[in-house]
Structure 1
Amino acid sequence: MTVRPLVHIGDPVLRAPASPVDAEEIASADLQTLITDLIDTMRAAGGAGIAAPQIGVSRQVAIAEVDDHTRARYPYKPPIPLTVLINPVLTVLDEGTETINEGCLSVPGLRGELPRATAVRVQWLDQDGVAHDETRRGVTAGTFQHECDHLAGIVFLDRVADTRTLTTWENYDRYHRAAFEERIAAYVARVGA
């Protein structure tokens, strides 16, 4: 198990578009190690996803996973099986958006509200080089958008429309969590994952 240090906001690697991975490179020991390290780092930090730039590697590789351990921190997130996204392409499928309260491992201790598309198409290669083409909806669509943003040099703060919604984790827990989780549970029930 290798947990790598997280890169925090202000590091230029978070603002640079990540380089694509050549299909022939996917089976290489270096790329497979990067994938394993991303998984280990995400799980150790309690995240629902992580992208390679967040550990200082400017490559188009991201991970998403919501399991029972993750849901202790994010009880409103539907399960996402471990998903390795290499060179993901995300397409918004409709005009619908929902305001999500997000945080980020690279912006420790801070959360804010931002709009996320309610339905997206995601195309990617997995850790074995197998192509995937799937539609993601609801909060799960938001998770995929968040990780794909990292690969384009975007952090969630860039999408926060009203900076007055920014809050520390402590104040999110104290003043905002209950209302957000109630609202987002209704959203999940309405649109699915």
Structure 2
Amino acid sequence: MAVLPIVQVGHPVLRERAREVSAEELASDAFQQFIDDLVDTMRDAGGAGLAANQVGDTRRVAVIEVRQPHPRYPYKPEIPLTVIVNPVLTPIGDERFAINEGCLSVPDLRGDVERFVTVRAQWLDRDGVAHDEERRGLTAGTFQHEVDHLDGVMFLDRVRDPATFSTWAEFDAHRRADFVKRAEALVERVGS
């Protein structure tokens, strides 16, 4: 297990668009080890996802996983470990949902971000197998958050109302119950 240092907001690598990964690079032992390290780092930090730029790497790969009980996101539906290489997201429809997001690269700060409720997600997995799937609800939001990172965009850029910024403690005290109620209704209506 190798836990990599997570870079923090202000580091220029977080603003770079990650480069595509070639088939040869994806198949290499070094890249496969990097994927394992990315997974270990995400799990160690208690995240729901982690993009390569968050550990200072500019290759287009991210990992996503939510196992319950999850200490940071007990309201999120489970997502099995998913490695996304060269992902492309396309919104399906115009419906959006305000998700209160945080980020491992922005410690102890949260804010409301409008995300598409449904997206078409296309990517290669770690074995180079192509996936073309529809993701909905909070899971779609997680995919959008990680692909934003790979495009050099942070959740901070997408917060339209700065009054929604809060620390974890203040979110828990004043906003969590309302958000969880809305999130649960979304999951019930559209799925994960």
TM-score computed with the length of structure 2 as normaliser: 0.98
1:18, 1:25 → 2: CA distance? 14
* Partner SS, residue 167 of structure 1: coil
Q: Deviations over 1:40-88 (max 9, x none)?
A: 000000000000000000110000101124x332122111100000000
2:3, 2:23 → 1: CA distance? 25
User: Aligned runs of 1:110-129 on 2, under 5 Å?
Assistant: 110-129=109-128
One-letter amino acid matched to 1:165: T
1:128, 1:110 → 2: CA distance? 35
2:115, 2:75 → 1: CA distance? 15
Structure-1 residue corresponding to 2:106:
107
1:130, 1:99 → 2: CA distance? 32
Structure-1 residue corresponding to 2:86:
87
Structure-1 residue corresponding to 2:44:
44
* Partner SS, residue 17 of structure 1: coil
1:133, 1:183 → 2: CA distance? 28
One-letter amino acid matched to 2:124: L
* Partner SS, residue 76 of structure 1: coil
* Partner SS, residue 144 of structure 1: helix
Structure-2 residue corresponding to 1:152:
151
1:48, 1:72 → 2: CA distance? 10
2:71, 2:8 → 1: CA distance? 24
One-letter amino acid matched to 2:31: L
1:30, 1:60 → 2: CA distance? 15
- Structure 2: which 5+ runs fail to align? none
Q: Paired residues, what number?
A: 192
2:166, 2:120 → 1: CA distance? 31
Q: Deviations over 1:80-132 (max 9, x none)?
A: 10000000011001100000000000001000001000000011011111110
Q: Does 1:184 align with 2:183?
A: yes
Is the contact made by 2:49 and 2:64 (CA closer than 8 Å) also made in structure 1? yes
User: Aligned runs of 1:2-151 on 2, under 5 Å?
Assistant: 2-69=2-69, 71-151=70-150
Is the contact made by 2:23 and 2:128 (CA closer than 8 Å) also made in structure 1? yes
- Structure 1: which 5+ runs fail to align? none
Q: Which runs of 4+ in 1 moved over 6 A?
A: none
1:128, 1:138 → 2: CA distance? 27
* Partner SS, residue 21 of structure 2: coil
One-letter amino acid matched to 2:141: G
2:30, 2:92 → 1: CA distance? 34
Q: Once superposed, what is the RMSD of the aligned Cα atoms?
A: 0.8
